[in-house]
Amino acid sequence: MVRAIILVNSPKKLIAARLKKILSVTDSFPTSGQFDAVAIIDVDHLAEIKEVANQIQKIGGVERTETMVEVQ
C-alpha cells in the first residue's frame, strides 16, 4: 500500500467534500493557509498516485495541486 497527501488549491468552498468522492481518497478536509484542502490517498502501486492526482486536477475550480508521498 502506498499513501500520499495531495494538497489542493481551489477557491471552491466545498472542494474537500468533492475530493471524498474519488475512490482512492480515504480522507479529505479543508485547511487554512497556502492550500485550501488536503486529500489523503491510499493506492496499491506508486504509479496510481499520478492517476488520482489527474482526477483531482480535473475537478472544476482546482487551480493547483502538490503531492507528497509517504516515505517509510
* 2-69: CATH number: 3.30.70.920
Residue identified by cell 486536477 is 57
pLDDT-derived band of residue 5, with 50, 70 and 90 as boundaries?
very high
| Strands, E assignment, the chain | 2-9, 25-30, 37-43, 64-69
Say if residues 30 and 4 touch (Cβ distance below 8 Å): no
Segment 14-71, tens digit of pLDDT: 999 999 999 999 999 999 999 999 999 999 999 999 999 999 999 999 999 999 999 9
Above 90 in pLDDT, residue 13?
Answer: no
For the segment 1-6, the average pLDDT, to the nearest whole number, is 96
Please give the pLDDT value at position 72.
83
Mean pLDDT of the chain, nearest integer: 95
